[in-house]
Chains A and B, each alone.
With several copies, the nearest count.
Chain A
Amino acid sequence: MPERKINNFVIKFANVNGSGSASANKLFARSILRMGVPVSARNIFPSNIQGLPTWYEVRVSEKGHLGSRGGVDIMVAMNAQSWNQDQLDIESGGYLIYDSSRPVPASKFRTDITVIGIPITDICNREFKDPRQRQLFRNMVYLGALSSLLAIDIAEVERLIQEQFSSKEALVSPNVQALHFGMDYAAEHFDCPIGFRVKRSSSVGSKIFIDGNSAAALGCVYGGATVAAWYPITPSSSLAESYEKFCKTYRHDHDTGRNSFASIQAEDELASIGMVIGASWNGARAFTCTSGPGISLMQEFIGLAYFAEIPAVIFDVQRGGPSTGMPTRTQQSDILSCAYASHGDTKQILLIPSDPKECFDFGYQAFDFAEKFQTPVFVMSDLDIGMNDHLTDPLEWNDEITYDRGKILSKESLDELAQFGRYLDVDGDGVPYRTLPGTHPSKGAFFTRGTSRDRYAKYSESGVDYQDNMQRLQRKFEQLRTQLPAAIIEEGKTKASIGVIYYGSTEPAMKEALQYLEEDGVSLDSMRIRAFPFGDEVSEFIDSYDRVFLVEQNRDAQMKSLLVSECNVDPNRITSILHYNGSPITARFIRSEITQSLDALKPSRKRKSISQKS
């Protein structure tokens, strides 16, 4: 049996949503992790509550390739609706595992795959009385069967069940029972383990398994956010819900019953960003989380925050656009509408995490940036990072970290001050001083407004005052860009003349692709952009290569637009690799696009819309 089938395969569970499969599938992934083998797991779900097809894809990869791979080695086909397509998706030589309770004629099966039937429904009907149990335990039965088939240590699964139901002890034993029914059936009827299998390893190390939204939410807790205002929208709701959950653990005083946080489900996105702005203006750290449609609705308020210089932290968990688009699919297509959010001349800070760990880091750092620079900060996550569990470095916190509240004048400093001017550029860095309401009986009060004003925050229609202010804002952005997380540059094995730029959730696929390309003899240096406005390293990187690829998960090469107009880069030097069908980008795709492009590309001056690849 080829070594490459051990700890190296993709298994996909095809279920009906609302049928309780999610927790069983997650148990599956975690049991492999417990055996020390890296996995990545992705939920592919419909915009629906119950009855439509949903999939859970687990990639097992000893080497730690955690991007979506593409293709399926083992399909656990539990949904009649998607049966045909599911079977087609299996790579030749793969396995189909299905519920054989109802006989399926042999002609209905592909012949280039191995078919494994487990009479799951029959087993459940035989062993359980309660109809709900009969339904629910089907998932445990296939999980049991898989442990036999794939050589998963059943003890790990049992331990996980025990941990999961620690508060509902009674549920443990029937679940374990169901597990064993499946395990035993498979062991008896098939040659176990099959070709693909799991072997204990130590590749997971100290890594943790967590979704980006939870990690970002914990970042907000650690970053000292006390006010959350949000409106439900996929795929961002779980960020707010996790924040509330964590706050109930970490911010609830059990003696007094009081909370040191306030989370408000607002009436819509306009209200949620308004609340964030109000709270931040009044000195609390506040955030909202949303997705594309919410970003569109927040545009007016974001312009106010930019112009009146009010901190605000906005998590944009991107999904497929435009409009309602593909609400349960992933994309990186809000780059432009966030970077230049709102009418008039505006520019916004973007932080772009690539995994849950960075969601946590940027989660807490965003509040420092927002307060230090007195401006909105977007954390540009996406559905792939946000809603899927990823194997990621453990979250890190150092108790020396302090909150940088920026230039806020206390009562004492106001007492000493001759004259306070809200929009004076005292330090020459474009960042003015602010005061919080209620601080001082006679000094420091000012009027915040979205209209033009002078340096003392007094309403002014003078073109001179207006321009003075707009230029200070420009200075502020010019200096802050070097203080944001710098792009991460990695060099290929051999001196490369080609560079590749990418960002966000593309990282695991990109890293894997770089490795393949290296194997193909193509060495590339890479740069992962982590923030906008860009630091100097970004244009320097581009300048250093004959040819630069830019990999994005959107149709219109939005990051390229930002790069060429902000870094004065000749767009002809950048070749876009664009993936935007809503599924996470894969190493296979990147490798093949880059390979093809290197074969064919000559420097040309065609219109972007033609020269773009998809």
Chain B
Amino acid sequence: MTFIAKPKLRHPELQRNKHGFTRRDYEGAVSTLCAGCGHDSISAAIIQACYELELPPHRVAKLSGIGCSSKTPTYFLGNAHGFNSVHGRMPSVLTGANLANRDLIYLGVSGDGDSASIGLGQFAHILRRGVNMVYIVENNGVYGLTKGQFSATADRGSKSKRGVENHSASIDLVMLAIELGATYVARGFSGDKSQLVPLIKGAISHRGAAFIDCISPCIAFNNHSGSTKGFDYVREHNEAVNFLDVMTPRDEITADYAPGSVQEIKQHDGTVLRLRKISEDYDVHDRVAAMHYLQKSKAAGDIVTGVLHVDPESPDLHDTLGTVSAPLNSLGKKELCPGKSAIDKFNAARR
């Protein structure tokens, strides 16, 4: 944590994007996390992604649960409304918010304790409902804020800072997300911003339930040897399956690639995800094959990163509910209330 406030003055030459915002407009309050915490890098990546996509910051709603990770929405997009809800229950709050106004961009931030332990049920159900959002788990394998207990994503056999071994099977959120029906699933690493920023951009441009499992080492409690979520360990075992470029409709598409080495996925909003393959036999479209690949790699000890599954065509929750295109929160008595004549008929039918 740096407690000296950033200078308030804007650099006159800070570049402005089409909405007139500079990069600073995407920032938030000063972080109070530990210096070097992986979570801060994710906040920076979110800022970068939103800036590059030129989103109007106030059209984003940031929601989270409880934990160090869940504190981070205060540290980016200061002009967006935020909601630090209760432990493990961000998904339901986000679902409700999304129902009320389908026109905002929903960004859910959570931790591995928040999502894989107390919140596992809500995690599962928001994905299977296809809520249009980006759901990021800042995954450090421990409970940071309560001082370093194992979380459910800690690998079996990994050791705590005090040397205690974890015996329970670990929960692999990426596998669950694909199994449960998430339509954009990726894994990133807070230590690799160049990979992470496009993953977030891709998630934002996706319509439907987008999930990113972002390994994010906890400097204070889970960065020792014996941990499988520390910087060194993750760097060593990181196996990226592809590299993502996100091209919005107005980007010019220039680069030329050898046939087969690139997969292009057109998203609902016209954005194109261009995946440069690193692993030849990985196909993000084929859910079954992707899961198989992930399982094999996991068994071999690799941490697979990149875009892991995309289905750009699935309906989102509003589609399946058939809600009107205007946000529900914009409707007034005129649109909603059947009025006196209807009630008279209603009464008549009940005599």
Contact = CB atoms under 8 A, between A and B. Distances in A.
A128 interface: no
Given A282-B101, A324-B66, A399-B339, A450 B85 contact: yes
A210 B149 CA distance: 23
B80 interface: yes
10 contacts: A51-B2, A208-B350, A226-B336, A232-B113, A258-B322, A262-B321, A273-B92, A283-B329, A286-B96, A437-B97
Interface string A225-263: 011010111100100000000000011010011111111
A278 B92 contact: yes
A274 B339 contact: no
A446 B28 CA distance: 11
Interface of A: 18, 33-34, 47-52, 80-81, 204, 206-210, 218, 221-222, 224, 226-227, 229, 231-234, 237, 250-251, 253, 256-284, 286, 293, 300-301, 304, 323-324, 394-399, 402-403, 435-442, 445-451, 459
B228 interface: no
Contacts of B120: 267
Contacts of A437: 58, 61, 80-81, 97, 101, 104
A274 B122 contact: yes
A282 B337 contact: no
B56 interface: yes
Nearest to B61: A437
Interface stretch (B140-148, B203-211, B230-238): B140-148
Contacts of B113: 232
3 pairs of A and B residues whose beta carbons are closest in the complex: A278-B96, A51-B1, A274-B92
B1 A50 contact: yes
- For chain B, the bracket of interface size reads 35 or more
B324 A259 contact: yes
Interface string B134-174: 00000000011111011010000000000000000000000
Interface string B159-196: 00000000000000000000000000000000000000
Contacts of B342: 250
B257 interface: no
B87 A441 contact: no
A278 B93 CA distance: 4
A271 B3 contact: no
B83 A438 contact: no
Contacts of B103: 438
Contacts of B118: 231, 267-269
Nearest to A262: B99
Given A272-B92, A438-B58, A451-B84, 8 more contacts: A51-B3, A51-B33, A256-B324, A270-B122, A437-B58, A437-B61, A447-B83, A450-B84
A264 to B, nearest CB: 7
B315 interface: no
A398 B58 CA distance: 38
B89 A49 contact: no
A258 B325 contact: yes
A226 B152 CA distance: 24
A62 to B, nearest CB: 18
Contacts of B68: 49
Nearest to A226: B328
A219 to B, nearest CB: 11
B333 to A, nearest CB: 5
A323 B35 CA distance: 28
A445 B80 contact: yes
A207 to B, nearest CB: 8
A438 B339 contact: no
Given A268-B118, A275-B92, A442-B79, A402 B333 contact: yes
Nearest to B150: A265
A257 B324 CA distance: 9
A267 B323 contact: no
A397 B339 contact: yes
Nearest to B328: A226
B332 interface: yes
Contact of B331 (A226, A276, A300): A226
B100 A271 contact: no
Interface in B297-351: 318, 321-325, 328-329, 331-333, 335-340, 342-343, 346-347, 350-351
Given A271-B122, A300-B86, A283 B324 contact: no
A262 B131 CA distance: 13
B34 interface: yes
Nearest to B122: A271
B117 A267 contact: yes
A293 B146 CA distance: 14
Nearest to B19: A441
Most chain B beta-carbon contacts within 10 A, residue among A226, A250, A300, A436: A226
Contacts of B333: 224, 402-403
